[in-house]
Amino acid sequence: MGAVPQLPGIDDEGYLIDPQNWSEELAREFARQENINLTEDHWDVIRFMREYYADKQVAPDARYVIRHLAERLGSASRNRLFELFPYGYVKQACRIAGMKRPRAWSTG
């Protein structure tokens, strides 16, 4: 087991202040804190979110991530995002992917 990564600036809720400070090592640490064992499906979501952020400078809304999963996994994937991140897209997926906490969204 490796050392815990040095955490860059995070806000009071545990989200990165600057998404540019994100790394896969940091994602693993945030996932560990959420008791999530990152699978290839988790990484697929995280990488999609990071690419979306790099292109648009904003975290993707959950519906874009669900659409991405549906393209990859088919219509049976409708609830897959919530199976992967059971305590919510914003609370877990956005945090692990290194997004700032989306202020206009609910915590669900």
C-alpha–C-alpha distance, residues 29 and 70, integer Å: 27
Provide the CATH number for the domain formed by 19-96 in this structure: 1.10.10.370
Q: Which residue has the tokens 């979110």?
A: 49
Distance CA 16, CA 24 (A): 13
List the structure tokens of 101.
Answer: 């906490």
pLDDT in tens, 59-75: 999 999 999 999 988 87
Distance CA 81, CA 41 (A): 9
**Which band of pLDDT confidence, cut at 50, 70 and 90, is reported for residue 8?**
confident
The residue-averaged pLDDT of 18-37 equals: 95
What is the rounded distance in angstroms from the CA atom of residue 47 to the CA atom of residue 2? Answer: 22
Output the pLDDT for position 40. Answer: 95
Tokens (6 digits) for 33: 């804190």
- Confidence band, pLDDT 50/70/90 cuts, at residue 5: low
Q: What is the pLDDT of residue 104?
A: 61
Short-list 33, 8, 34, CA closest to 100? 8
pLDDT of residue 27: 96
**Which residue type, as a one-letter code, is found at position 9?**
G
Residue 108 pLDDT: 42
Residues 66, 61: Cα–Cα separation, whole Å: 9
pLDDT of residue 84: 96
Better-scored residue on pLDDT, 82 or 4: 82
